[in-house]
Amino acid sequence: MERQGNIKISSENMMPIIKKWLYSEKDIFLREIVANASDAITKLKKLVDMGEAKEEGAYRITVTTDSKAGTVTVEDNGIGMTEEEVEKYITQIAFSGAADFLEKYEKAGGIIGHFGLGFYSAYMVSDDIEIFTKSYREDAPAVHWESDGEATYTIGDCEKPTRGTKVVMHLAKEEKEFLKESEIRNLLAKYCSFMPYEIYLNPKEDSKPVNTVSPLYLKSPKECTEEEYKNFYRDTFADFNEPLFWIHLNMDYPFRLKGILYFPKVRKQVELERGQVKLYCNQVFVADNIKEVIPEFLLLLNGIIDCPDIPLNVSRSFLQNDRQVQKIAAHIVKKVADKLCALYRDDRERYERCWDDLKNFVKFGCIKDDNFYKKVKDIIIYKNLAGEYRPLESFFGEEVPEEEAKEGKEPQTTYYVSDENKQAQYVQLFKDAGLDAIVCDNYVDPHFISYVEYKNPTRVRFMRIDSDVAGALKEEGEEDKELAELFKGVLEGKCAEVRAERLKDVTVPAIVNVAEFSRRMAEMNSFYQMGEMPQQITLVVNAANETVQSLKTAGEEEKKAAAEYIWYLALMSYRALTPEELKAFTETGMRFIGKYLKNA
């Protein structure tokens, strides 16, 4: 016999909480209802193991869609409920308003395990919901419960021959998209791919489950083959490029954590690509890329993290301030660093082959996480001008003693190249002089070397190869003041400074230098779109070059034209000319050609 009752909840407060606080996406309802079904089976299994219940056939969850009836149904063969339990878990959600709810459940650390709250998420898409349930207790009658989500419900006995619970959701008119089998299949793939019991969607005689009940990450690493890791990666992330390598996380103390993190091949060198790290709780999908649990730089990887100690539904502020979550994040960082160090130590050749795909991730990780930098700083490698990989710290000098540093002594300069093609002239000068430099070839490097300088203030100072004439590039001797003044007079306003030095390479007429600090500030302004900033350009005229020396005895017109031409040649070796500069360079060149042809 059915009877009516009042749901003990302020309904005008319940729905805003469900829609705004518990769930950001309404499609989450399917995860909640299926997760409840999974929990019901797990509880029954425990009773069976203790000898308090009988096992009756294979455990399974069935999801069916009925477009004519407008319903989505989720049914399990789990523990089931008595009428008293339905009252307790469904209708006695006794809180008077949003404030009480938030206070109660934030202190509890989440709502996992509170069946009623997860169940009520279904009202985001439903006008009416029915529950048909039969307890594992043999003498308990089956129960039918129904409510339209307002303040009333009906409950009573019903006919249900088998143990378990069936939830029938009568969808609202505006939510009919969830009646499509393809839509429900996509949601099951998103939220329930690794649930521990087989899930069938609109099953037929030969139907297969839509999920994998024993995903690879739950196995012991010793039981997994390389091929299994690659197949799991391809199937989970739809990436047909093989991963570089992976880290299998498997621990039960001091917290429970399982998962696999994959290092993907980089498809674009010009930017950091965000990966996909899926967070699960007891094989139930929680969310992608939760930086409160997975440190931000690790989100460049692809992976699965399953942590039962993190609730299914919990606020970001809780995650940020929870010490257990912080320990989990630190452990993951440590395991990643350990894996990289082991690869560097045990298979240096493979490590170097992978470095092009790893370098952005490692450098970005160092900038974002100081502890990560401490663990991996010895395995950061760079190519030198000969194309050979060397540890970054091998380019550093001896540490400047504290007292000498206070007196202004600077550490050894480490030169770097940011573009081997554009800076080819400087590279050749360095090679000819027996000097070396590191090759910085991506956009993370400017930020990274600044970070390394900050961490090693008495060991290294970085300068780009075109920022100064290194001592080894110059011959001994004083500056040629006459040449310097000659060029200053011609180039007034075009560059900040002119120097005339004797370079060892006599074929180079002049080179451009730009002060390191000035250029870095200009690049930073450009990166943050703060407008153009002028750079302090110095022209270094090669006093050892015969053509340059001949300018001293040339006529005024020839001096001016030749000095300008040499200036533009030097500038072209540093950067592309502006349209105005290119026009002036071309006109100067044509004057030279015309004069030569007349005198020929």
Cβ atoms of 98 and 16 closer than 8 Å: yes
So what's the pLDDT on residue 600? 64
For 390-413, write each residue's pLDDT tens digit: 999 999 988 888 888 788 888 989
Q: What percent of the chain has pLDDT over 90?
A: 54
Q: In this model, does residue 383 exceed pLDDT 90?
A: yes
Lowest mean pLDDT of 224-233, 350-359, 463-472, 544-553, name the range. Answer: 463-472
Q: How many CB atoms within 10 Å of residue 317?
A: 10
Strand locations in 365-411 (E): 381-383, 389-391
So what's the pLDDT on residue 1? 63
| CATH numbers and ranges of domains, the chain | 3-201 (3.30.565.10), 216-376 (3.30.230.80), 380-456 (3.40.50), 466-600 (1.20.120.790)
Cβ atoms of 131 and 144 closer than 8 Å: yes
Q: In this model, does residue 114 exceed pLDDT 50?
A: no
Cβ atoms of 301 and 328 closer than 8 Å: no
Per-residue H/E/C for 156-221: EECCCCCCEEEEEEEECHHHHHHHCHHHHHHHHHHHCCCCCCEEEECCCCCCCCCCCCCCHHHCCH
CA 479 to chain centre: 52
With bands split at pLDDT 50, 70 and 90, how would you rate the model's confidence at 319?
low
For 212-236, write each residue's pLDDT tens digit: 999 999 999 999 999 999 999 999 9
- Considering the chain, what is the average pLDDT of its residues? 86
For residue 465, give both structure tokens. Answer: 């190869």
CA dist., res. 487 & res. 564, Å (int): 8
Q: In this model, does residue 53 exceed pLDDT 50?
A: yes
Lowest mean pLDDT of 38-42, 100-104, 346-350, 428-432, name the range. Answer: 100-104
Q: In this model, does residue 98 exceed pLDDT 50?
A: no
For 131-184, write each residue's pLDDT tens digit: 999 999 988 999 999 998 777 889 999 999 999 999 999 999 999 999 999 999
Of 114, 122, 68, the residue nearest 92 (C-alpha): 114
So what's the pLDDT on residue 274? 74
* Mean pLDDT (whole number) for 248-273: 80
Of 232, 180, 471, the residue nearest 188 (C-alpha): 180
CA angle 318, 320, 321 (to 5 degrees): 70
So what's the pLDDT on residue 110? 39
* Mean pLDDT (whole number) for 409-429: 91
**Strand order through the sheet with 413-417:** 438-439, 413-417, 461-464
Residue 533 φ then ψ, to 5°: -130, 125
So what's the pLDDT on residue 33? 94
* Residue positions counted in the chain: 600
* Mean pLDDT (whole number) for 26-34: 91
* Mean pLDDT (whole number) for 46-63: 92
Largest CA distance in the chain: 119
Q: In this model, does residue 10 exceed pLDDT 70?
A: no
Higher pLDDT, 300 or 63: 63
